[in-house]
Amino acid sequence: MENQPGTKGLVFNEPEIWDKSCNGRCAMSLPKADVKRAQLDKTLVGDAPELPQLSELDVVRHYTRLSQWNFGVDSGMYPLGSCTMKYNPKTNEVQASRKGFASAHPFTENSYSQGSLKLMYDLEQYLKEITGFHAVTLQPAAGAHGELAGMLMIHKYHAKNGRQRSKIIIPDTAHGTNPASASLCGYESVNIKSGKNGILEPEDVKAVMDEDTAGIMVTNPNTLGLFESNIKKIADIVHAKGGLVYGDGANMNAIMGIVKPGEIGIDVLHLNLHKTFSTPHGGGGPGSGPVAVVKKLEPFLPVPRVIKNKDSYEFLTDCPDTIGRLHTFYGHFGVLIKAFSYILSMGAKGLTNASKLAVLNANYIKESLKETLNLPYDLPCMHECVFNDAIQKEHHITTMDMAKRLLDYGFHPPTVYFPLVVEGAFMVEPTETESKEDIDQFIDAVKAIAKEARTDPETLRRAPFLTKVTRLDEVAAARKPCLCG
């Protein structure tokens, strides 16, 4: 492939900073002291720290070189399915670093924090509008934390309404965090399989839904990248038996501005601001998992809640039915600022277009690669598409081999071996921020690798070759981790 973005030129070897130390080198010159030298009390301060001795340029190069070993969405396409690794406009960072926000302290009196409180209040209003729900909390620190908050609310709702229930229905296309969150609340997960089209069939829900079941957790769009189009019927079945519907909204990037989950039978939904609403994540910073609820669940929302009282904003903690606090203070405020800035800068039209483009890009990849890779569910997809290695298996080439080889072609691999419903899954999420040129390059790279699978499988099995480290023994790394550096 001629047009590949990957290169191995000018990527430097770099030892540990201690190994570069050279006695007498110093990164700065201090002015001569104009006071008398005094001896420090060694019993108080201990020995002087052993610091490497380096020039300023040594230090700058060391860290710059290390940063070049890293890969992020600012360096290239990051088609990691389920993670929505889209580009985060830098203006959001600028807004979050504004002095008034960056130096705000959570212990400051409400009257001195009106701007921050207003931002939280307004962000809740926007998220209500986007999701179609009655109330929102910004407290949860991530998606899974939002799930826990939602499950605790469902638990409390049933307790309040007479009888506690013991089970939750979870389809095989749900995210792995769903059963974990249900289990943390003491629920037993009842697994159901999705139908032959990769989505839930109302009949299958009906067969297991009973009055000891607290509800269902549905990831929509699901982890196969398909929209659960029977959701309304399913919600009716669950509601008829007194249950509630939890919506995992981590995949909202495919439907914002198009579908309001609050209007299709869902009772409680979490969002991932660090996916859909453009905050760096995956090592790039903390997350935020706001939860939106229907009216009957509002009393159970975590505290503190931000409320508007005439023209001023304050925190409400006195809510008798609340599930309580989820952590100290008020959520990951920096992430809230970035989401607020993103929503305002995109506008309603912009958000809707982002979803449409995310879906278009994923369908373009699906159509372009479906002869190259096996496509277990050949249906129009949402923002991601799931292939597998069934065609390449013939040459004893696996999803892992192809993912590793993509590194040589200059691409971060997609998500592999997830979702579990597809054996050898190769799950691609291009997001709306990739250009057609970049997507075409990715498609060409996958096609070139599929060709290598036929013509030179031996070599392909040893890939990658151009990276800093080549194929790692992952089993040894997991069994005998070297934790001492």
Ligand X SMILES: *Cc1c(COP(=O)(O)O)cnc(C)c1O
How many Cβ atoms from other residues are within 10 Å of residue 283's Cβ?
Answer: 7
Question: Cβ 429 to ligand X, closest distance in Å?
Answer: 10
Question: Distance between CA 267 and CA 134 in Å, rounded?
Answer: 10
Q: Which amino acid is at 31?
A: P
Q: Between 242 and 285, whose beta carbon lies closer to ligand X? A: 285
Quickly count: other Cβ atoms within 10 Å of residue 331's Cβ.
Answer: 24
Please, which residue, 257 or 289, has the CB nearer to ligand X?
A: 289
The nearest distance, CB 250 to ligand X, in angstroms, is 3
Q: How far apart are alpha carbons 152 and 159 in whole angstroms?
A: 10
Cβ-based nearer residue to ligand X, 80 or 337 = 80
Nearest CA to 234 among 258, 253, 217, 251? 217
Residue 216 binds ligand X (CB under 6 A): no
Distance, CA of 70 to CA of 408 (rounded, Å): 15
CA distance 381 to 404: 25
Stretch that binds ligand X, among 138-146, 308-316, 373-381, 398-406 (CB under 6 A): 138-146
Residue among 278 and 441 whose Cβ is closer to ligand X = 278
Q: How far apart are CA 355 and CA 362, in angstroms?
A: 11
394: how many CB neighbours lie within 10 A of its CB?
11
Contact between 331 and ligand X (CB under 6 A)?
Answer: no
Q: Which two tokens stand for residue 484?
A: 């001492």
* Separation of alpha carbons 189 and 170, rounded Å: 6
- By beta carbon distance, the residue nearest ligand X is 143
Report if residue 175 touches ligand X, rule: CB under 6 A. yes
Q: Which residues 48-107 are close enough to bind ligand X by CB under 6 A? A: 82
Residues 416-475 that bind ligand X (CB under 6 A): none
Size of the site for ligand X (CB under 6 A): 13
Nearer to ligand X among residue 225 and residue 410 (C-beta): 225
Q: Are 145 and 155 in contact (CB under 8 A)?
A: no
Q: Given the rule CB under 6 A, which of 206-214, 243-251, 350-358, 360-368 is the region that contacts ligand X? A: 243-251
**CA separation for the pair 404, 370 (Å, rounded):** 20
CB 276, min distance to ligand X, A: 10
248 interacts with ligand X by CB under 6 A: yes
| The binder of ligand X chosen from 85, 200, 224, 250 (CB under 6 A) | 250
Least separation, in Å, of the C-beta of 175 and ligand X? 3
Which residues of the shown chain bind ligand X in the complex (CB under 6 A)? 82, 142-144, 175, 177, 219, 248, 250-251, 272, 287, 289
